[in-house]
């Protein structure tokens, strides 16, 4: 009985759900797959008791499925897939260095050293801690603060 309520609600809302998925994913095939995944997840759980509950859960689960698909590596929206068509000159090493200097401005000397070791040289936190005579937790905190400062600087540049 529960699956009959779910099935009927899904059939009734199929067009609205499809349009909602298209707004998220911007791709007909991905939207159809998201609809199928949504129905399957709810059908498998079998936790729908009423028509209004089914309707609400369909939209919530669809939104979550779409977000999962967008977060998945290699998944791109239609706009991102056509970005290859736009010719953009490659960034030179000088441009990259200047941009990195801009976004890392304001970091303390220790934060900058830790940031460079982690991002450019791939050094683990434990090794950085032993090299700098710090605890691993202090290295993690410094890196976290450096990332926050970099994120803030980037947001300022993006405006």
Q: Looking at residues 86-90, what average pLDDT do you find?
A: 50
pLDDT tens, 103-151? Answer: 888 889 999 999 989 888 889 999 999 999 999 999 999 999 999 998 8
Whether residue 34 is predicted with pLDDT greater than 60 in this model: the reply is yes
Tokens of residue 5, six digits: 């309520």
Question: Rounded distance, CA 117 to CA 110, Å?
Answer: 11
Largest CA distance in the chain: 66
Question: Rounded distance, CA 9 to CA 11, Å?
Answer: 5
- 38 touches 84 (CB < 8 A): no
* pTM for the structure as a whole: 0.47
By the 10 Å C-beta count (0-12 exposed, 13-18 middle, 19+ buried), 148 is classed as exposed
């Amino acid at each position: 009985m529960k699956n009959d309520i779910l099935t009927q609600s899904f059939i009734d809302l199929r067009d609205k759900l499809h349009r909602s998925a298209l707004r998220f994913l911007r791709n007909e095939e991905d939207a159809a797959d998201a609809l199928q995944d949504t129905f399957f997840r709810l059908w498998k759980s079998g936790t729908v008791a009423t028509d209004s509950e089914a309707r609400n859960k369909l939209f919530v689960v669809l939104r979550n499925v779409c977000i999962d698909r967008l977060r998945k590596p290699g998944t791109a929206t239609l706009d991102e897939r056509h970005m290859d068509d736009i010719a953009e000159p490659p960034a030179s090493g000088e441009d990259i260095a200047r941009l990195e200097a801009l976004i890392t401005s304001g970091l303390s000397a220790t934060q900058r050293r830790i940031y460079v070791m982690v991002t450019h040289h791939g050094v683990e936190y434990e090794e950085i801690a032993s090299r700098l005579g710090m605890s691993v937790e202090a290295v993690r905190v410094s890196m976290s603060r450096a990332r926050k400062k970099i994120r803030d600087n980037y947001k300022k540049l993006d405006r």
